Chains A and B, each alone.
Chain A
Amino acid sequence: MTFLIQQTLLYAVPLMIVALAGVFSERSGIINLALEGIMIFGAFVGVLFVHVMQTAGVFDEAKAAGDWIALQGFELLAMLAAAVMGAVFSLLLSFASINLRADQTIGGTALNMLAPALVLFLVRIIANQNTLQMATGDAASWFMIKKTTLGYSRTDDLGFLGNTFLHKVYLATYVCIILFIILSIILYKTRFGLRLRSCGENPQAADSLGINVYKMRYAGVTISGALAGMGGFVYALTSANCTSNGDVAGFGFLALAVMIFGNWKPLNIAGASLLFGLFKCVAAAYSSIDINGDGVYLLAQAGISSHFYRMLPYLITLIVLAFTSKKSRAPKAEGIPYDKSSR
């Protein structure tokens, strides 16, 4: 059970934060199809940051001394770097769709095509191959929080909650969850959030009340870019062993799907990404999932082909989308470039 929860969180958290990135952009009225591209770029920047810092030996001492707080700080810095560059990357989208009033779908698609190519190009220059890896060690030995890092011995039992949430976890996961909560509150409970949302529903009305629609949309897309960039790095860190190869396994697109079947609402999105993460985890590790702890691996013994399990997450997405899309209600003004003169 512990294993199931941990693995589910690993897959669900990047999805959740990137889907929220989509919400911020779309609620301000800009369709952000570029989530995948920004994730790829953010993952690259974060991994590059880690790689460069390791090569420069900045955190070698902390690693050798087992100073895990410094290493967690390193992790946070890398997340920050990814977020900043993700935001910068997303400016391309905001510039095209806000200032130039370009078609947002095409703009996003262009970024999605640009990012993997650009990242691969850079990775090949830097690493001489298609994957950029950490310079030394692996993600788990540098960044993972375990019992032993917290000062317990290997055999200590921390109880169910301790074992699940304090052992073999990444700080990044919790940072994302906290950010998710804070940003959801900002979106719904603050003046800024209200204004942002109004720009996605009726920008003309918002403008007539003195809200700068362009600014709000820039803000929405930039927050979106920062979250997606960070989400990309979190994905790379927690489930791809801190590597970047111009690919995040389609998580950006999945996040879009999650956003749509979460109906552009944070709580639903959290649920949807957990559902998806759960099935993704089942797909990968069904052979060692022991649900009630009796030593019987039900899923492995059911005699169902592994291909079926691997299809599951996507099947579930399709099915849920089919049932929920009737109710889904996108922000009214999304995708329409705002033109002051056409009230």
Chain B
Amino acid sequence: MKKILALVLALCMVFALAACGETAAPAASEAPAEATEAPAETTEAPAEEPAEVTDPDAIEDTMTSADGTYEVAFVTDVGQLKDKSFNQGTFDGVKLYAAANGLSYKYYQPANGDQATDDDRYDAMKAAVDAGAKVVVCAGFMQEGALKKAATEFPETSFVFIDGYPLSDEAGNVLTNVAPIAFKEEQCGYFAGYAVVKDGFTKLGFCGGGGGENPACCRFGYGFVQGADAAAKELGITVDMNYSWEYGASFQASPELQSMASGWYETGTEVIFACGGSMFQSVAAAASANDGYVVGVDVDQSAESDTVITSAMKGLADAVQWAVAKVYDGSFAEIGGVAQSLGVNENAVGIPTAAESWRLETYTVEDYEALFAKVAAGEVVVDGDYTKLAATENVNLNII
């Protein structure tokens, strides 16, 4: 009995230790080796790279600059860099701009993974600035607290706040070195929901990340429901939708999420909107096992899995390139501290229409373009106020 007790106690200790050991590891590798070098030296960086690179995957994720400084920095959101979604899409923008203009770039992942605190994020931003960053691209609304602190402390550095809103320092002045960029996710969610229902699917699912507290994911989900509702109304049918925030709070793939998605497919769900970075992995694995379909998010994910029928995209890479270019042509003041909400009118949201990405059968690209034009013209209004999410006449919402 004593031995068992000792073993159990030891186990508890081991659990705690293992938990610490696991998360502490990545932090160390982020520290810049040469933090003291002056950023001014970077002007002599060679600009030999021609501006022809269009495939972000062809550009290395890590580059070594000659003088150890990195001008364009990217601080990731929770989740993996290569999530084939939000982080990756944003980083693609950084890479494309930097490669096209011969600039040095580097990404920083805040320590402690999905448990990252404001301090961890601030440390990542500080490391970026110390390493000579002129512009720091920060992905995700969770960076707010850290970004406030960093932007106040480093007024000379420009920050791009993806999925963000204007920030103020403690005195209440708007921080003009932070350019917030948000998207009208509800619009691309709407397109995806409309498309799958028009294509004949009647049992849908939505798996959202952030535990229901991430505004972008909430807008995606609400738009998806509205789109499904509109299409169902036109067809005179009722569709069922499972709607869940479970197992996605940290935007990570997990066995539990895979089981849950498998369960949905097993009980008739035909297509699941995997709305949250690396969560896609679990949902796509479940879809692949059960011959189901997935709606991708943020970027065109059709290349990642044959199960992806369409993707609700937002133009992350384009927006990043646009904003970073403003830093370099000196017009950053135009967007610093000004709320941006990019939608159909800026051509910043949509679903992919390339032939290899278009896997819908009865719903055609022309149908989609007509709908897109209607939304752009304001004939169809997609509501972004996700607190109004509710079942409708044509959508049975099963919130799990």
| Smallest CB gap from B29: residue in A | A124
Once the chains bind, are B282 and A241 in contact (CB under 8 Å)?
Answer: yes
Once the chains bind, are A260 and B7 in contact (CB under 8 Å)?
Answer: yes
Size of the A side of the interface (Cβ < 8 Å), in residues, is 61
Segment at the interface with B among A89-97, A128-136, A172-180: A128-136
Segment at the interface with A among B154-162, B187-195, B263-271, B327-335: B263-271
Q: How far is the CA of A206 from the CA of B131 in the complex (A)?
A: 64
A247-B22, A285-B259 known; A253 vs B62 contact (CB < 8 Å): no
A124-B26, A138-B284 known; A284 vs B260 contact (CB < 8 Å): yes
Once the chains bind, are A287 and B253 in contact (CB under 8 Å)?
Answer: no
> Which residues of B lie under 8 Å from residue A325 when comparing CB positions?
1, 4
Once the chains bind, are A105 and B10 in contact (CB under 8 Å)?
Answer: yes
Which chain B residues numbered 12 to 66 have a C-beta less than 8 Å away from chain A? 13-15, 17-18, 21-22, 24-26, 29, 61-62
**Interface residue B306 (Cβ < 8 Å from any Cβ of A):** yes
Q: How far is the CA of A260 from the CA of B1 in the complex (A)?
A: 12
| Smallest CB gap from B8: residue in A | A321
Report the minimal beta-carbon distance from A259 to chain B, rounded to whole angstroms. Answer: 10
Q: How far is the CA of A287 from the CA of B264 in the complex (A)?
A: 8
A120-B25, A241-B253, A326-B1 known; A112 vs B260 contact (CB < 8 Å): no
Once the chains bind, are B14 and A253 in contact (CB under 8 Å)?
Answer: yes
**Interface residue B82 (Cβ < 8 Å from any Cβ of A):** yes
| Smallest CB gap from A34: residue in B | B14
Q: How far is the CA of A253 from the CA of B14 in the complex (A)?
A: 9
Once the chains bind, are B288 and A287 in contact (CB under 8 Å)?
Answer: no
**Interface residue A71 (Cβ < 8 Å from any Cβ of B):** no
| Smallest CB gap from B88: residue in A | A129
Most buried by B among A10, A257, A288, A326: A288
Q: How far is the CA of A127 from the CA of B109 in the complex (A)?
A: 14
> Which residues of B lie under 8 Å from residue A246 when comparing CB positions?
22, 25
**Interface residue A33 (Cβ < 8 Å from any Cβ of B):** yes
Which chain A residues numbered 1 to 46 have a C-beta less than 8 Å away from chain B? 3, 7, 10-11, 31, 33, 36
A133-B281, A241-B281 known; A33 vs B14 contact (CB < 8 Å): yes
Once the chains bind, are A138 and B259 in contact (CB under 8 Å)?
Answer: no
**Interface residue B255 (Cβ < 8 Å from any Cβ of A):** yes
Q: How far is the CA of A214 from the CA of B289 in the complex (A)?
A: 46
Q: How far is the CA of A108 from the CA of B10 in the complex (A)?
A: 10
A105-B10, A112-B17 known; A300 vs B400 contact (CB < 8 Å): yes
> Which residues of B lie under 8 Å from residue A239 when comparing CB positions?
255, 258-259
Q: Can you list, as one digit per residue, whether each of A272-293 has a CB less than 8 Å from chain B (1) or not (0)?
A: 0000000001011101111000
> Which residues of B lie under 8 Å from residue A141 when comparing CB positions?
288, 305-306
Q: How far is the CA of A31 from the CA of B267 in the complex (A)?
A: 44
**Interface residue A211 (Cβ < 8 Å from any Cβ of B):** no
Report the minimal beta-carbon distance from B74 to chain A, rounded to whole angstroms. Answer: 13
**Interface residue A76 (Cβ < 8 Å from any Cβ of B):** no
**Interface residue A312 (Cβ < 8 Å from any Cβ of B):** no
Once the chains bind, are B80 and A129 in contact (CB under 8 Å)?
Answer: yes
Q: How far is the CA of A3 from the CA of B100 in the complex (A)?
A: 51
Most buried by B among A33, A239, A290: A239
Once the chains bind, are A130 and B17 in contact (CB under 8 Å)?
Answer: no
Q: What's the dominant secondary structure at chain A's contact region?
A: helix
> Which residues of A lie under 8 Å from residue B22 when comparing CB positions?
116-117, 120, 246-247
**Interface residue B262 (Cβ < 8 Å from any Cβ of A):** yes
8 Å CB contact of B263 from A3, A113, A138, A256: A3
Q: How far is the CA of A316 from the CA of B291 in the complex (A)?
A: 34
Once the chains bind, are B26 and A287 in contact (CB under 8 Å)?
Answer: no
Q: How far is the CA of A250 from the CA of B256 in the complex (A)?
A: 13
| Smallest CB gap from B12: residue in A | A253
**Interface residue B290 (Cβ < 8 Å from any Cβ of A):** yes
8 Å CB contact of A168 from B25, B253, B259, B289: B289
**Interface residue A208 (Cβ < 8 Å from any Cβ of B):** no
Q: How far is the CA of A220 from the CA of B259 in the complex (A)?
A: 34
> Which residues of B lie under 8 Å from residue A124 when comparing CB positions?
26, 29
8 Å CB contact of B14 from A109, A131, A260: A109
| Smallest CB gap from B61: residue in A | A128
> Which residues of A lie under 8 Å from residue B257 when comparing CB positions?
284
Once the chains bind, are A250 and B15 in contact (CB under 8 Å)?
Answer: yes
8 Å CB contact of A154 from B21, B258, B291: B291
Once the chains bind, are B259 and A284 in contact (CB under 8 Å)?
Answer: yes
Once the chains bind, are A120 and B26 in contact (CB under 8 Å)?
Answer: yes
| Smallest CB gap from B21: residue in A | A113
Q: Can you list, as one digit per residue, whether each of B235-270 has a CB less than 8 Å from chain A (1) or not (0)?
A: 000000010101100000111111110111011000
Report the minimal beta-carbon distance from A13 to chain B, rounded to whole angstroms. Answer: 13
Report the minimal beta-carbon distance from B255 to chain A, rounded to whole angstroms. Answer: 4
| Smallest CB gap from B84: residue in A | A133
| Smallest CB gap from A248: residue in B | B255
Report the minimal beta-carbon distance from A96 to chain B, rounded to whole angstroms. Answer: 16
> Which residues of B lie under 8 Å from residue A306 when comparing CB positions?
246, 400
8 Å CB contact of A116 from B18, B255, B278, B291: B18
> Which residues of B lie under 8 Å from residue A31 when comparing CB positions?
7
Report the minimal beta-carbon distance from B392 to chain A, rounded to whole angstroms. Answer: 21
Once the chains bind, are A240 and B1 in contact (CB under 8 Å)?
Answer: no
**Interface residue B11 (Cβ < 8 Å from any Cβ of A):** yes
Report the minimal beta-carbon distance from A3 to chain B, rounded to whole angstroms. Answer: 5
Once the chains bind, are A241 and B306 in contact (CB under 8 Å)?
Answer: no
**Interface residue B3 (Cβ < 8 Å from any Cβ of A):** yes
Ranked nearest first, the 5 interchain pairs of A and B with the lowest CB-CB distance are A288-B263, A285-B263, A284-B259, A239-B255, A140-B289
8 intermolecular pairs with C-beta atoms under 8 Å apart: A120-B22, A128-B82, A140-B286, A141-B305, A240-B255, A249-B254, A253-B11, A289-B263
Using CB atoms and an 8 Å cutoff, list the residues of chain A in contact with chain B: 3, 7, 10-11, 31, 33, 36, 105, 108-109, 112-113, 116-117, 120-121, 124, 127-131, 133, 137-141, 144, 146, 154, 168, 239-241, 243, 246-247, 249-250, 253, 256-257, 260, 281, 283-285, 287-290, 297, 300, 306, 310, 325-326, 328, 330, 335
Known A-B contacts: A116-B22, A117-B22, A129-B81. Give 7 more (CB < 8 A).
Answer: A112-B17, A121-B25, A128-B81, A131-B278, A168-B289, A241-B285, A243-B281
